[in-house]
Amino acid sequence: MKVAYLGPAGTFSEEAAATAPRAAGAELVPQATIADAIEAVGDGRADEAAVPIENSIEGSVAQTLDTLADRTDVTIVGEQVLAVSHLLVAAGPLDEADLRRVVSHPQPLGQCAHWLRAHVPGAELVAASSTADAVREIAAAPGQPWAAIGTRRAAELYGGTILAEGIEDVPGNETRFVWIGHRDAPVEAPTKTSLVFWGSGDDTPGWLADCLSEFARRGVNLTKIESRPLRGQLGHYRFFVDLALGLDADDARAAVDGLRTHCEHVRVLGSYPA
């Protein structure tokens, strides 16, 4: 079994993939981006992928949502919650006051925003493709007044020096990962469903309420609802929702069928064990 994840080695995505019972003994295959990890499943280069979809501080991971909404060849087959604690890593010993640049993936930069403003207010914040890439970049530039936000494993792998630990803004920081499988992958005992819908009528009064009423009047609880811009159409949105039922439940299926009467597009992203 091959499992794709946002690489290189030393990311939280690798930790999620490496610690999940479903991936025991699997070959972990690093990818340059979250979209690449999902695409690896779609085109058969990997059997599954572990990708971040939501963080308890910074919210949803836009690239994951948008990529899943655009693809019909993959599905969510499971989820996993990982405790996340961030470290500030430099190439060598360095005082925080001397830092002029902090590099990391946009999610950790957001999760540590208050700490960064308080401790390194003059530092430039630079986005990287992953936390491990950020640490690797910083470790390769000794003598520069730069640091990265990353993991202990990345610091060990790439030779970084840890300047500070636990720099996330809120204790108990967690990231929810979803496991992506092939479109027809079997799923046992689903208790949760994720879907996205959009289409004509979204700019008329009551349209969204009519859509959501299909769930409310059947007693189907929604544990999440979020909008994302419909790319290329300013003022129009795609709506992502999570249902606290699997699609093997009659009420859930009826609600989704009802939703289709209001929308041009309804795409089930996955029905899986919560």
Mean pLDDT of each 10-residue bin along the chain, 274 residues long:
97 96 95 97 97 96 96 96 97 94 97 97 96 96 96 97 97 96 93 94 90 97 94 86 97 97 96 96
The residue count for the chain = 274
Identify the bridge partners of residue 88 per DSSP, sorted by sequence position: 149, 164
Domain 2-84+173-182 shares a fold with domain 87-165? yes
Active-site option among 12, 175, 197, 240: 175
Identify the bridge partners of residue 227 per DSSP, sorted by sequence position: 239
Active-site option among 177, 197, 239, 240: 177
Identify the bridge partners of residue 222 per DSSP, sorted by sequence position: 243
Q: What is the 3-state secondary structure (H, E, C) of the chain?
A: CEEEEECCCCCHHHHHHHHCHHHCCCEEEEECCHHHHHHHHHCCCCCEEEEEEEECCCEECHHHHHHHHHCCCEEEEEEEEEECCCEEEECCCCCHHHCCEEEECHHHHHHCHHHHHHHCCCCEEEECCCHHHHHHHHHCCCCCCEEEEECHHHHHHHCCEEEEECCCCCCCCEEEEEEEEECCCCCCCCCEEEEEEECCCCCCCCHHHHHHHHHHCCCCCEEEEEEEECCCCCCCEEEEEEECCCCCCHHHHHHHHHHHCCCCEEEEEEEECC
**CB of 227 closer than 8 Å to CB of 179:** no
* Domain limits, the chain: 2-84+173-182, 87-165, 192-272
What top-level class would CATH report for the domain 192-272? alpha beta
Q: How far is CA 110 from the centre of its chain?
A: 13
**CB of 17 closer than 8 Å to CB of 62:** no
Angle at 14 between CA 127 and CA 223, to 5 degrees: 80
Q: Is 175 a catalytic residue?
A: yes
User: Which pLDDT belongs to residue 235?
Assistant: 82
Q: How far is CA 56 from the centre of its chain?
A: 11
Separation of alpha carbons 264 and 247, rounded Å: 20
Convert the pLDDT of each residue in 45-63 to its tens digit: 999 999 999 999 999 999 9
What top-level class would CATH report for the domain 87-165? alpha beta
Does domain 2-84+173-182 fall into CATH 3.40.190.10? yes
Q: What is the CA radius of gyration of the chain?
A: 20
Q: How many CB atoms are closer than 10 A to CB 233?
A: 11
CA distances from 80 to 24, 71, 146, 171 (A): 14, 21, 33, 19
